[in-house]
Structure 1
Amino acid sequence: MPDLEVAVPAAALLALLVTAYLHPRGRTEAAVGLLAALATLATGALDVDALVDELRHLGPVVLFLVTILVVGDVCGRAGVFDAAAGGVRRLGRDHPVPLFTGVFLLAALVTTTLSLDATVVLLTPVVLVAAAAAGVSARPGAHACLRMANSASLLFPVSNLTNLLAMRHVGLTFLGFARVMAPVLVVVLVVEYAAARLLFRRELREEADPEHRVPDRPPVPALPVVTVGLMLAGFAVGSPLGVEPFWVSGVAAAVLTAWAWRRGLVTARQALHAGHPAFAVFVLCLGVVVAALAVGPLGDLVRDLLPHETSYLSLLVVALLATVLANLLTNLSATLLLVPMLAPLGTAAVLAALLGLNIGSGLTYTGSLANLLWRRTLVRHGERPSLREFHRVSLVVTPVTLLAAVTVLGLVAPH
């Protein structure tokens, strides 16, 4: 392969990663993405057929991302997260442990149903307010949101873009995916919860401030909750029929936007902004660049490292390789690169990769865009997350959780 066909996509990927880390304004993000993709295509590294195939694969995933972000935004404006946190906050009136337990489970629920972005961007600020209202440290709850955003995004294909990108390679329906991953998720939650209780034991031993009055729990708006429930049912029903998830989430987004607009909760411009269209363009461009790299030396190197069977040790190798790639390239880029190569090995290998791409991406700030969004969310709300504390938690918990998850997967996954 000519030098330009290697150097240009590599430089384009670097530019995209730097842009993702800096998180500039949407126009800048989209412009960098388009320039990177056009520069890559100009080298001829991808032919027209390969480009069309990549866009056909990524298009439905990006449309799902846009619509589910709108669903999460409207739920936030309608007070769904405030209502849920209000109930959790009442648990922490007398002691921080019940509050933390409620936040932990709520973060896992939000991640599985509305995707990890809703957890780090919409739920985390609510958790900070809940902790302040209860007079307890916000650190355990904030870290629970971050850990659950990555580690709890295993249950449904729609819980994480990495899962959705991998779906065409796993040979499972929506419910089939959930059946395999449910026991894995249960073990992950147990390990993560036990580790958090140990690592934050000092904060969780503190008594709640008795001078803090717990406000009444706000009412739960019925229509958004019902719509989200019906949306999940729609995913399950539509999957065996070949219905792409974005059709279901698109209907849910339209219903909720119309409902919120009539009540003055959202304008058309705010709804459009909630979908982050510039980031959607960025993801499409990232897919083009990574597809070009996959046919070059980087793709060859990754293929050489892959095992040729799906024994327990092989699944562990796949999960570790996915973890390394996620923390070097971000988990979204790593998914686009790694998962198609694993498809010939079958469902178990692809699912093992998802464990590394989801759980393993919590190892460093650069592993997942959710990590960076979480940090920015805390800073915007007056909290200064410690890099040392982040890694104190991540370097201890991530390897243990990943090992436990691969072990369970090896027992339950189809080979």
Structure 2
Amino acid sequence: MHTRDRVSVGIGLALLVGGAVAVGTGAFPAHEASALAERVWGILLFVVAMTIVAELSSRAGLFDVAARVVIQTAGSRSWRLWLLISAFTLACTIFLSLDTTVVLLTPMVVVLSRRIGLDPKPFALTVVWLANTGSMLLPISNLTNLLAANKVAQGSPAQFASLLWPVAVVCAVVPLALIALVFRRELGAAPTLAPNSPLISSGRSFAYAAQLFARRPQLTISAVVVSALIIALLAGVEVWIPATIAALALVAAYALMDRSALTWHLVPLPMIMLTAGLFLAMGAVGSMFVHEAVGNLLAQDDSSATLLGTAALGAGGANLINNLPAYLALEPLAHSPATMVALLVGVNAGPLITPWASLATLLWHERLVATGVHVSWSRYMLLGAVAAPLIIIAAWLALLVQF
């Protein structure tokens, strides 16, 4: 187990013990703890199942094929490559969650940009920013969305998307515009490979994919399972059900074709321990201290000041302690669909400043280090300090138009 994983497990255990003590002493009422467990067990199972699906699909080469099609479709145009990678990142975030996106796509975009002689930093920053800000549209896009789904739209993905799509569009477009402005020189550089290189020849992309599908049955099975999973996740059933079925289907396929892939490392134990600990500990802290305090911070209405204040508190809390506990602490502020959307804007699109603001950012940095790319945290935080307020204000204006 890596050092980071040991730290995650240790922190998770400490938080679980602290929460259990609060329940045992009565400071956190048992019925509230039980209600919290009822809300989150399916979310944790969903995280486990989606991680297994993503890891086995990645091993089959599904995301490599998609990435190669992207780069070959882009040809020799750097801007087109960046836009295609942005669209791919956004789709992966919406349908497979932000953590899955950064784990799978960060090393991929670094390899792609290096192969054609481009600076990987703007591509890598695009992945982490869009993974956070682009996780607004569906309940499955972010754990915070799953927690809020019943309050926002009775758990219906279609209703959730119909309510969130205006701010989702803003939260995707604004960071892309900022990256295009800040990195215009890097994105305007020409690839160093010749235009007729097989790597960037758009005419060969789909033929290459077809050959791989013909040679790798795991790839075909993964593509079918992931496609069916996405359709099922949009159907409105409890998300853990189709995710678990998909994970079991891939595990069964690999048990027949490649048992070496089936290890306990597929189960994200450190992430689950940390997430479960955050749920229990922040539930206890919220019940004992925070809920009453935050309940008096803003007026109980949908005024422009209340919506902006809710979003700002969400972003501030996310950058201070992490977006998941920030959501749990501030949830009592969200007394209506409009304020709930504002809170999601803050905790989803706001955590762009501190490294710990979201788990996705930490996972992204770990993958960058593994690929040999160095990103200065000071520059990251400076860019985020500019981007986060602009994104939140733009989303707030969209909220005012909508509500």
Q: What TM-score comes out, normalization by structure 1 length?
A: 0.86
In structure 2, distance between residues paired with 1:39 and 1:354? 30
What is the one-letter code of the residue matched to 1:184? Answer: V
Residue 290 of structure 1 pairs with residue 288 of structure 2: no
Residue 300 of structure 1 pairs with residue 292 of structure 2: yes
Of 101, 106, 130, the residue aligned with 1:119 is: 101
Q: Which string of whole-angstrom CA distances, capped at 9 and with x for unpartnered residues, describes residues 40-60 of structure 1? A: 334431122122111111111
Q: Which range is displaced more, 115-124 or 163-172?
A: 163-172
What is the one-letter code of the residue matched to 1:225? Answer: A
Match of 2:351, SS? helix
1:44-123 correspondence to structure 2 within 5 Å: 44-123=26-105
**Counterpart for residue 8 of structure 1:** none
Percent identity, aligned pairs only, is: 30
Structure 1 alignment gaps of length 5 or more: 1-20
**Counterpart for residue 31 of structure 1:** 13
CA 1:211/1:29 → structure 2, altered by over 3 Å: closer, same or farther? farther
In structure 1, distance between residues paired with 2:259 and 2:77? 35
**Counterpart for residue 312 of structure 1:** 304
In structure 2, distance between residues paired with 1:202 and 1:49? 57
Q: Which string of whole-angstrom CA distances, capped at 9 and with x for unpartnered residues, describes residues 340-362 of structure 1? A: x134x211111110010100012
Contact kept? 1:92, 1:99, Cα under 8 Å: yes
Task: Supply the RMSD in Å over aligned alpha carbons.
Answer: 2.2
Contact kept? 1:134, 1:214, Cα under 8 Å: no
Of 364, 373, 386, the residue aligned with 1:383 is: 373
**Counterpart for residue 348 of structure 1:** 338
Contact kept? 1:125, 1:381, Cα under 8 Å: yes
Q: Which string of whole-angstrom CA distances, capped at 9 and with x for unpartnered residues, describes residues 144-186 of structure 1? A: 1001110000111000001001112223411100112223222
Residue 250 of structure 1 pairs with residue 244 of structure 2: yes
Deviation at 1:193, TM superposition (A): 1.7
What is the one-letter code of the residue matched to 1:355? Answer: V
**Counterpart for residue 189 of structure 2:** 206
Deviation at 1:100, TM superposition (A): 1.0
CA 1:184/1:30 → structure 2, altered by over 3 Å: closer, same or farther? closer
Q: What TM-score comes out, normalization by structure 2 length?
A: 0.89
Contact kept? 2:42, 2:240, Cα under 8 Å: yes
Match of 2:6, SS? coil
Contact kept? 2:352, 2:384, Cα under 8 Å: yes
Residue 393 of structure 1 pairs with residue 383 of structure 2: yes
In structure 2, distance between residues paired with 1:57 and 1:182? 25
Of 143, 146, 155, the residue aligned with 2:137 is: 155
Deviation at 1:369, TM superposition (A): 1.2
In structure 1, distance between residues paired with 2:288 and 2:297? 15
Contact kept? 1:77, 1:265, Cα under 8 Å: no
Structure 2 alignment gaps of length 5 or more: 214-218
Deviation at 1:27, TM superposition (A): 4.8
Q: Which string of whole-angstrom CA distances, capped at 9 and with x for unpartnered residues, describes residues 352-393 of structure 1? A: 100101000123212111111111110111111111321232
